[in-house]
Each structure stands twice: as structure tokens, then as C-alpha cells.
């Protein structure tokens, strides 16, 4: 936990850069979902931008941390558990030394274990967690203006539990699991097909900067990810509707 706090809170000036970065998709009075909230640095950022936040986190240690940080904040709801393709329960493989890579996806763990950057990682214990779907969360809490999905290889399952396009969302990209990211991209494309589609950009890990000076369609995004793939650096794909006025809940 101390390692995660150092990574997400210990870099000077990152908080201000993060607020500027997210201010384009998270506005005062809006709702944001943080799926895989972990240590809550996005939650804190979005609250400072004036948004209400639903923070979904499966790791019990980090649920306790989130409640310590935000338990008295009426604008934050901490949801213990995971999001997935269907409600139920699932087995979370936990890395005690590197909790940022704890995962619900055995296939993802197999893929990344072959990469040398994961040579020191061991998934040394497991916990059973409750699973809900994004559709269920939306039914209870409302349609988010933005949804961040960072779930270590479980992104496809999370997106499979969403049946209506959101105005904007992001999902993690990890080079050793390139095919999983392409599968997630395909699901986002299907969600947006009926409302004018999505445009995309990419931000290398925690830089809070977009890699492209313009928003791209999916066929243009894939070569951009391919250019980053040899570096081994993870990051986040950002998607926004090309016609946001046609998003559910937009009033159009």
C-alpha cells in the first residue's frame, strides 16, 4: 500500500496537471465512475473538479483506504467489489508486493508473466469479490459523464457489462497484453456505432498528456498504439463520442 501511495501521490505537481487534464471531461456537478479506483488519486482529482464519484475497487485493503480518505465525503460512494460482464462473484489474484497488478483475469496474468517487466511479480494470494455490471451501477447511480476502467486485463469483461455508449471513457493499455486492448477497442466501437462513433487518443502512463495532437478514429489509433508497444510502457486509451449530443442522458 505504501508503494502505491508513493506512486500515485508522491510526485510533485502531478495533482495540478491531472486536474487540468481531466477538466475537459469531468465538470462541476457531473458524475464520474472510477472502476479500479485503487488508491483514489483520480477520485480526489475529480472531487476537486466538482464531480460526484462512484469508486469501484475489489481489493479489501484499498477499499479501507478509500473509506479512510473519502468516508466523510457525501460526493464519493465507495463500492467494494468489481465490475464485469455479469453479476456474481469472481476470484481476484492479488500481488502483495505489487498490488497495482492484482487481476481478475487468469489469461492476462499468463500473458504478462512472459514479459520481463513482470519478472518480479508474484500473485501470492486470492480473494473472492462481488461483481456487478456497469449497467447495474448506472441503473442505481445514474449515467456518468466519464468512466475510467483500469482493471488489469479485465477491461473487456467490464465493457461487456455495458449496453449503452457513454459520453467519454478510458481503458488501460498494456503492451504485453496488446490483443486484449484491441478487443476492448472493438467493444467500444460497437457501443458507439449507433450514435456516430467514438474518437480516440492515448496517454502514456501517468503523464497526463495526449500522444496525438488530434482525436483519431479507431483505425488510426491502432498504429499509434503499435508505436508505443515496443517501449513496454502502459497507458490509457481515451474515447469520446464524436456526437456527444447523442449520448444517453444528454437530453438530445
Banded model confidence at residue 6, pLDDT cuts 50, 70, 90: low
In the chain, % of residues over pLDDT 70: 92
Per-residue pLDDT reduced to its tens digit, 172-183: 999 888 999 999
- Residue 251 belongs to some domain of the structure: no
Q: Is 1 or 70 the better-scoring residue by pLDDT?
A: 70
For position 41, which CATH number holds?
A: 3.40.50.150
| 7 has pLDDT over 60 | no
Domain boundaries, position 17: 2-246
Q: For the chain, how many structural domains are there in total?
A: 1
Predicted confidence at residue 248, as pLDDT, reads 65
CB within 8 Å of 138: residues ≥ 6 apart: 144, 162, 164
Distance CA 80, CA 193 (A): 32
- Residue 9 belongs to some domain of the structure: yes
- Residue 20 belongs to some domain of the structure: yes
Banded model confidence at residue 206, pLDDT cuts 50, 70, 90: confident
Banded model confidence at residue 114, pLDDT cuts 50, 70, 90: confident
- Residue 64 belongs to some domain of the structure: yes
Which CA distances in Å does 36 have to 39, 102, 152? 9, 10, 9
Mean pLDDT over residues 187-211, rounded?
A: 95
Cell reading at 136: 447495474
Banded model confidence at residue 251, pLDDT cuts 50, 70, 90: very low
Banded model confidence at residue 252, pLDDT cuts 50, 70, 90: very low
- Residue 61 belongs to some domain of the structure: yes
| 84 has pLDDT over 90 | yes
Predicted confidence at residue 23, as pLDDT, reads 96
- Residue 217 belongs to some domain of the structure: yes
Pairing type for strands 125-132 and 146-149 reads: unpaired
| 209 has pLDDT over 60 | yes
* CB distance 104 to 58 below 8 Å: yes
Buried b (16+ CB within 10 A) or exposed e, 22-41: beebbeeebbbbbbbbbbbb
* CB distance 241 to 191 below 8 Å: no
| 231 has pLDDT over 90 | no
Three state DSSP letters for the chain: CHHHHHHHHCCCCHHHHHHHHHCCCCCCCCEEEEECCCCCHHHHHHHHCCCEEEEEECCHHHHHHHHHHHCCCCCEEEEECEECCCCEEEEEEECCCCHHHCECCHHHHHHHHCCHHHCCCCCCEEEEEEEECHHHHHHHHCCCCEEEECCCCCHHHHHHCCCCCCCEEEEEECHHHHHHHHHHHHHHHHHHHHHCCEEEEEEECCCCCCCCCCCECHHHHHHHHHHHHHHCCCEEEEEEECCHHHCCCCCC
| 5 has pLDDT over 90 | no
| 222 has pLDDT over 60 | yes
Mean pLDDT over residues 58-78, rounded?
A: 95
| 86 has pLDDT over 50 | yes
Predicted confidence at residue 244, as pLDDT, reads 76
- Residue 95 belongs to some domain of the structure: yes
- Residue 252 belongs to some domain of the structure: no
Per-residue pLDDT reduced to its tens digit, 136-173: 999 999 999 999 999 999 999 999 999 999 999 999 99
Mean pLDDT over residues 62-67, rounded?
A: 95
Amino acid at each position: 500500500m505504501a508503494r502505491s501511495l508513493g506512486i500515485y501521490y508522491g510526485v510533485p505537481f502531478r495533482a495540478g496537471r491531472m486536474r487540468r487534464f481531466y477538466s475537459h471531461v469531468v465538470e462541476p456537478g457531473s458524475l464520474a465512475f472510477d472502476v479500479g479506483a485503487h488508491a483514489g488519486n483520480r477520485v480526489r482529482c475529480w472531487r476537486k473538479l466538482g464531480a460526484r464519484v462512484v469508486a469501484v475497487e475489489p481489493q479489501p485493503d484499498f477499499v479501507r483506504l478509500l473509506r479512510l480518505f473519502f468516508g466523510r465525503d457525501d460526493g464519493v460512494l465507495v463500492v467494494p467489489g468489481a465490475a464485469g460482464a455479469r453479476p456474481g462473484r469472481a476470484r481476484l489474484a492479488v500481488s502483495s508486493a505489487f498490488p497495482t497488478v492484482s487481476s481478475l483475469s487468469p489469461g492476462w496474468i499468463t500473458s504478462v508473466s512472459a514479459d520481463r517487466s513482470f519478472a518480479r511479480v508474484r500473485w501470492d494470494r486470492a480473494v473472492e469479490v462481488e461483481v456487478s455490471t456497469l449497467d447495474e451501477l448506472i441503473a442505481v447511480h445514474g449515467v456518468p459523464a466519464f468512466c475510467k476502467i483500469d482493471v488489469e486485463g479485465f477491461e473487456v469483461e467490464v465493457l461487456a457489462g455495458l449496453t449503452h455508449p457513454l459520453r467519454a471513457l478510458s481503458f488501460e493499455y498494456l503492451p504485453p497484453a496488446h490483443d486484449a486492448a484491441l478487443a476492448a477497442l472493438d467493444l467500444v466501437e460497437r457501443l458507439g456505432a449507433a450514435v456516430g462513433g467514438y474518437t480516440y487518443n492515448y496517454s502514456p502512463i501517468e503523464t497526463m498528456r495526449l500522444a496525438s495532437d488530434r482525436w483519431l478514429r479507431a483505425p488510426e489509433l491502432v498504429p499509434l498504439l503499435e508505436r508505443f508497444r515496443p517501449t513496454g510502457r502502459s497507458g490509457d486509451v481515451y474515447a469520446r463520442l464524436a456526437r456527444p449530443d447523442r449520448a444517453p442522458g444528454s437530453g438530445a
